[in-house]
Amino acid sequence: MSMLEVKDLQVYYGVIQALKGISFEVEQGDVVALIGANGAGKTTTLHTITGLLPSKAGNITFEGTDITHVPGYKLVSMGIAHVPEGRRVFASLTVLQNLKMGAYTRNDKKEIEDTIEMIYKRFPRLKERKNQLAGTLSGGEQQMLAMGRALMSHPRLIVLDEPSMGLSPLYVNEIFDIIQEINKDGVTVLLVEQNAKKALSISNKAYVLETGNIVLSGDAKELMNNERVKKAYLSE
């Protein structure tokens, strides 16, 4: 049984069908990438999995439990964390306050403090800026904060939407290194990423979305050598 199973998922925006019956799986311990052009349905897929959008048909199963109609706030305590596109940090709160917001499902103060220290070890810059307002951080630092905030809930599955968007090449490399570290620590990753080359380079498996359909899937390294993928997504 896969950790996450999406079957025949259909999602509409009014009369426009955004997802046309897609199916895919995420195995425990893997990094799985969803790649595709803008408007392909990648973010819609993540929003539906994490309870931010309703589906018209199909079902979503997480660790054997049907979560198709479970609201997003309940999924956090079930072990799913979502790092949204555009980071969405609380700009008027400090770095530390943002991190504490990520632990809203937890009650053990000592455990929360220990997790914050763990986050600071992984993201030393967040410790340096813990009393700084999140809105004054650079884009890369905000991305680290959004990831750190998600890790505060001790997720077993982390869903990342365009983590490298708008970042300098230096920060892009750093963010992808951190994603690999998180995965090595036992967190399964579902990754939506415009930078297909980077996404495929760290993933076990990948799916290619085009206009609401999955048109290709397979081993990520094999897809990197697929002529169709190279032409559409990997050309410089």
- What percent of the chain clears pLDDT 70, i.e. is strictly above it? 99
Q: Does residue 166 sit within a domain?
A: yes
Q: Can you give the CATH number for the domain in which 214 is found?
A: 3.40.50.300
Q: Does residue 137 sit within a domain?
A: no
Q: Give the pLDDT score at 194.
A: 86
Q: Which domain holds residue 77?
A: 4-86+155-234
Q: Does residue 146 sit within a domain?
A: no
Q: Specify whether the CB–CB gap between 28 and 188 falls below 8 A.
A: yes
Q: Does residue 205 sit within a domain?
A: yes
Strand-strand pairing, 188-192 and 205-210: unpaired
Summarised one tens digit per residue, pLDDT across range 66-88 is 999 999 889 999 999 999 887 78
Q: Does residue 39 sit within a domain?
A: yes
Q: Does residue 81 sit within a domain?
A: yes
Contacts of 182 (CB under 8 A, 6+ apart): 122, 147, 151, 158, 189
Summarised one tens digit per residue, pLDDT across range 54-64 is 999 999 999 99
Number of domains in the chain: 1
Q: Give the pLDDT score at 236.
A: 55
Q: Does residue 136 sit within a domain?
A: no
Give the span between the Cα atoms of 190 and 82, in whole angstroms.
10
Q: Does residue 128 sit within a domain?
A: no
Summarised one tens digit per residue, pLDDT across range 123-150 is 898 999 999 999 899 888 998 899 999 9
